[in-house]
Amino acid sequence: MRGFPSQRWRLGKQKPGRQPGLFAGSAPALSCGFTLTELVVVIVIAGILAAVVLPRWSGDTGFEARGFRDETVAALRYAQKSAIASRRLVCVSFTAATVQARIAAAAGAANCAVGAPLVGPSGAALSVVAGGGTQFAAFPAGGLNFNARGQPSAAAAISVQGLPAALAITVEAETGHVR
């Protein structure tokens, strides 16, 4: 066979006791694992991803609490305006993680027990449900009623757990303004 000795060794003819290398006389390539630098870089990247990405997947970003607060404000304003527009009593009930509204059956009704659920802008019953473990820290235990003039039964302070006190929802007693 003609050619260089390295070509002959690659074709199966090699010296006894030697592994064939890339070139004639070269030592075999050793690849026994990762270097310390590679391992440190991988661990640092994994740590950054864990610190940034995992809280977003678990829903602990604070957006859920702020969204629940904003939806509650919108629902209370809608309930107040519906009371004025229909000239009926609108009752808003609270649980730790939900807000629901009902409208009285008749104009002079004293409560909403026999009334129907207040239909929201979407065409479904007006209801706000918290997501991601969000809930109220403080809410009116007996609920909140808006009369035909839009005035609430009492002033109310509602706060969402995890939000600062400056973002508490207040319902003014005289005007029924929700802010």
Q: What is the pTM of this model?
A: 0.69
Residue 60 burial (CB count, 10 A): 14
Question: What percent of the chain has pLDDT above 90?
Answer: 60
Torsions phi, psi of 22, nearest 5?
Answer: -70, -40
CATH topology of domain 63-171: minor pseudopilin epsh fold (3.55.40)
Per-residue pLDDT tens digits for 135-176: 999 999 889 999 999 999 999 999 999 899 899 999 999 999
Name the residue with higher pLDDT: 169 or 8: 169
Q: Domain segments of the chain: what residues?
A: 63-171
